[in-house]
């Protein structure tokens, strides 16, 4: 193994593609996040190019690459695949090496993964078929409210009087949102209700252990979601430095371990 | 780009014999339906078929037909036909698919055996031991065909099966005789019932032996094989023909065991399946698991046609016991003991629970059972969401990711 050797993890999610480049010492050298779009292979390649540039590396330096996520089979430069459940687990354990419950809120699905103190998965759950509690729900609501997605977090944080949404279903929730607009409710209160709905759906999936870690794109872009969850469980939540990258980092860790 | 692993699953030669058995079974029913004799009784899959055999009815099981609708992927488009009549999309998709097919005048029997339609019933006999939906299902057809609908109403959530349960169910079964005599035009003969019960018990015993071969390591059979080979246990119990075809199947599986030959090329993980199969995904699921070297080798479902209590010397009471002792009729405590015994017997590494949206009675993961069993046995489990027939209720990608992650978890725990 030369000192230049790098290990790549590519996490092709339904919404965003993430690539992480690690050295053999598990240090993050480069990364990229882009909209997955419709050509997963091309997006993964673009992310790789950006990540390599950031890492000051060349494709020839890649010792191994593993792909994960919804489009994991479409990554041309990967030698193998792992599920996003395994990769999020591995990525989180790198930052928090103890028994943890991981809440990952992605674009299309949510996961709750439990690890023991040695980092072994003891159980995991994914959301059921519907979009309630996922990033897709937030995207739908931002469209309904005609608010850019990136402004949702700031609005939710401003709310002093949350509007609770009662429905499980994204479509029914959208109807509820419209009804609340019609009744003159403040937009920030509705947005906070939307956030609460996501948090609630996720918390219903499984019980939490002592140490809770939150990851995923929704968490990366909406820190208020973490605050809300902390209030709900009554304790501090651990968030890795790059919450959107944990899947890609986990895949890169698998790439490192594959050679050992 | 990573390539999908080529899957090697070994073909069971006796499947052709089972296929021939099923063909003969449906052709015989079709001929009777067209000629008007012998009389045809419809029966629920764990209904009192032995009584019907003893009275010389040919017996048709609509659930098997509906499973064919599922396996041929016809069901999903047919379900809305029944929904439009007021049968909710949330109720049994066997019922809705089957009624939908009838309304549209189509059947998978046409492509499989060149049979134009399902056989016309002279009487419909249900047992609600599996669910109430079968009664509603038969009531609809009873009205369509102007045929009597009779049956047995079971107990639910039975812990220990007591003499009280047996007495009540046996009396209900005896009460079927008079209306059946009227339809058949012949007198009931106890000796004929004893003979049918004996054949049924023999069929049950050999089916059990077939399923028990999966205890071998590697297992010569998969759950997915079982679901396509179980036809004779369902539609043929009480007949000699079913016994004959199962003898062929058993011999092949025993030979595999003797040769150390497994159903999968490399069986690394042994999985138990609880709940209904996803009929429209049998092949996909079989490939998914085998590609991960995981053999789903035993199930509650296939074992539901084992009736070890049947006793020809005491036909009514033993039928009552056999059809009440069934897993689906029992309390959670009894079900948990059953599954625990199965996990031990088959040396299982993990359990899959199928939460079938339209089949609450056979989705055993909704009241904390997986968590309780996992705690007690230490064997991890995974719940997948889906349905027996309605393919709109499942996400293939989610199932795939869940199963792959589950097998990764099993691998990491070794």
Q: Which helix (H) or strand (E) holds A12?
A: strand A6-12
The class that CATH gives domain B15-412 is alpha beta
For chain B, what are the domain ranges?
A: 15-412
Q: For residue B201, name the pLDDT band (cuts at 50, 70, 90).
A: very high
Smallest CA–CA distance, residue B2 to chain A, in Å, is: 6
Of the partner residues A75, A82, A121, the one whose CB lies closest to the CB of residue B1: A75
- Region A144-152: mean pLDDT is 89
What pLDDT does A129 receive? 64
> Looking at chain A, which residue has its C-alpha nearest residue B4?
A73
| Residue A139 burial (10 A CB sphere; 0-12, 13-18, 19+) | middle
- Tell me: pLDDT of B1 over 80: no
For chain A, what are the domain ranges?
A: 6-86+245-258, 98-239
CATH architecture of the domain A6-86+245-258 equals: 2-Layer Sandwich (3.30)
Give A83's contacts in chain B (Cβ within 8 Å): 401, 404-405, 408
> Looking at chain B, which residue has its C-alpha nearest residue A70?
B397
How confident is the model over A157-178, as pLDDT tens digits?
Answer: 999 999 988 777 777 888 888 8
- Tell me: pLDDT of B139 over 90: yes
- Region B406-413: mean pLDDT is 93
Q: For residue A1, name the pLDDT band (cuts at 50, 70, 90).
A: very low
Q: Do B1 and A82 touch (CB under 8 A)?
A: no
More confident residue, B7 or A22: A22
How confident is the model over A187-244, as pLDDT tens digits?
Answer: 999 999 999 988 988 888 899 999 999 999 889 999 999 999 999 999 999 999 999 9
- Tell me: pLDDT of B47 over 70: yes
- Tell me: pLDDT of A132 over 80: no
Of the partner residues B374, B394, B397, the one whose CB lies closest to the CB of residue A70: B397
Helix (H, G, I), strand (E, B), or coil: what is residue B130?
A: coil
Give B1's contacts in chain A (Cβ within 8 Å): 41, 73-76, 78
Residue environment code for B336-359, b if the CB has 16+ CB neighbours within 10 A, otherwise e:
bebbeebbeebebbbbbbbbbbbb
Helix B75-83, helix B93-104: angle, nearest 10? 90
d(CA B92, CA A59): 55
Judge if A6-86+245-258 and A98-239 fold alike in CATH terms: yes
Smallest CA–CA distance, residue A8 to chain B, in Å, is: 14
Q: For residue B2, name the pLDDT band (cuts at 50, 70, 90).
A: low
> Looking at chain B, which residue has its C-alpha nearest residue A112?
B402
Give A126's contacts in chain B (Cβ within 8 Å): 398, 401-402
- Tell me: pLDDT of B324 over 90: yes
More confident residue, A149 or A47: A47
Q: Do B405 and A70 touch (CB under 8 A)?
A: no
d(CA B282, CA A2): 48
CATH architecture of the domain A98-239 equals: 2-Layer Sandwich (3.30)
Smallest CA–CA distance, residue A205 to chain B, in Å, is: 12
Whole-model pTM over 0.80: yes
- Give ipTM to 2 decimals: 0.85
The residue among A48, A64, A111, A108 whose CA lies nearest residue A84 is A111
Q: Do A124 and B409 touch (CB under 8 A)?
A: yes
């Amino acid at each position: 193994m030369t000192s230049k050797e790098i290990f790549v993890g590519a996490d092709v999610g339904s919404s965003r593609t993430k690539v992480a480049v690690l050295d053999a010492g598990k240090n993050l050298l480069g990364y990229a996040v882009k909209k997955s779009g419709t050509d997963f292979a091309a997006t993964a390649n673009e992310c790789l190019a950006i990540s390599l540039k950031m890492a000051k590396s060349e494709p020839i330096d890649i010792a191994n690459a593993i792909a994960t996520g919804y489009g994991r089979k479409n990554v041309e430069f990967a030698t193998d695949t792992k599920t996003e459940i395994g990769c999020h687990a591995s990525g989180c354990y790198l930052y928090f090496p103890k028994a943890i419950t991981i809440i990952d809120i992605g674009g299309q699905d949510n996961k709750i993964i439990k690890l023991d103190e040695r980092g072994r998965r003891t159980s995991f759950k994914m959301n059921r078929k519907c979009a309630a509690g996922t990033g897709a729900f937030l995207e739908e609501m931002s469209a309904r409210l005609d608010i850019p997605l990136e402004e949702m977090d700031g609005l939710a944080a401003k709310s002093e009087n949350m509007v609770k949404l009662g429905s499980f279903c994204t479509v029914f929730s959208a109807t509820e949102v419209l009804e609340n607009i019609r009744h003159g409710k403040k937009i920030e209160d509705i947005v906070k209700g939307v956030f609460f709905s996501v948090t609630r759906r996720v918390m219903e999936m499984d019980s939490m252990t002592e140490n809770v870690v939150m990851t995923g794109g929704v968490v990366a872009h909406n820190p208020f979601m973490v605050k809300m969850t902390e209030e709900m469980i009554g304790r501090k939540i651990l968030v890795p430095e790059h919450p959107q990258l944990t899947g890609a980092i986990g895949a890169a860790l698998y790439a490192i371990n594959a050679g050992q | 780009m990573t390539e999908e692993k080529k899957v090697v699953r070994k073909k069971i030669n006796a499947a052709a014999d089972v296929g021939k058995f099923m063909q003969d079974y449906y052709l015989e029913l079709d001929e009777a339906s067209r000629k008007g004799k012998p009389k045809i009784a419809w029966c629920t899959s764990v209904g009192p078929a032995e009584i019907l055999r003893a009275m010389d009815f040919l017996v048709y099981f609509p659930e098997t037909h509906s499973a064919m609708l599922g396996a041929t992927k016809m069901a999903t488009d047919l379900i809305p036909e029944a929904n439009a009549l007021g049968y909710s999309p949330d109720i049994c998709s066997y019922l809705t698919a089957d009624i939908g097919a009838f309304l549209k005048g189509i059947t998978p029997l046409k492509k499989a055996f060149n049979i134009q339609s399902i056989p016309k019933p002279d009487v419909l006999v249900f047992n609600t031991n599996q669910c109430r939906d079968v009664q509603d299902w038969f009531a609809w057809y009873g009205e369509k065909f102007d045929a009597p609908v009779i049956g047995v109403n079971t107990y639910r959530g039975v812990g220990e099966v007591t003499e009280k349960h047996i007495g009540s169910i046996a009396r209900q079964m005896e009460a079927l005789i008079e209306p059946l005599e009227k339809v058949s035009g012949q007198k009931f003969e106890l000796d004929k019932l004893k003979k049918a019960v004996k054949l049924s018990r023999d069929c049950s015993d050999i089916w059990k032996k077939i399923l028990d071969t999966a205890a071998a390591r590697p297992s010569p059979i998969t759950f997915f094989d079982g679901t396509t080979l179980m036809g004779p246990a369902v539609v043929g119990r009480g007949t000699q023909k079913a016994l004959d075809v199962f003898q062929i199947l058993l011999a092949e599986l025993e030979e595999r065991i003797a040769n150390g030959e497994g159903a999968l090329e490399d069986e690394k993980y042994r999985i138990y399946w609880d709940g209904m199969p996803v009929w429209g995904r049998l092949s996909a699921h079989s490939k998914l698991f085998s590609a991960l070297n995981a053999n789903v080798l035993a199930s509650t479902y296939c074992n539901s046609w084992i009736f070890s209590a049947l006793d020809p010397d005491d036909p009514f009471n033993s039928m009552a016991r056999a059809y009440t002792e069934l897993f689906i009729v029992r309390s959670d405590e009894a079900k948990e003991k059953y599954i625990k015994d199965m996990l031990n017997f088959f040396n299982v590494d993990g359990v899959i629970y199928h939460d079938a949206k339209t089949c609450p009675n056979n989705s055993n993961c909704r009241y904390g059972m997986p968590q309780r069993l996992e705690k007690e046995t230490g064997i991890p489990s995974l719940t997948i969401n889906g349905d027996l027939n309605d393919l709109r209720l499942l996400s293939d990608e989610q199932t795939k990711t869940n199963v792959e992650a589950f097998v990764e978890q099993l691998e990491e725990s070794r």
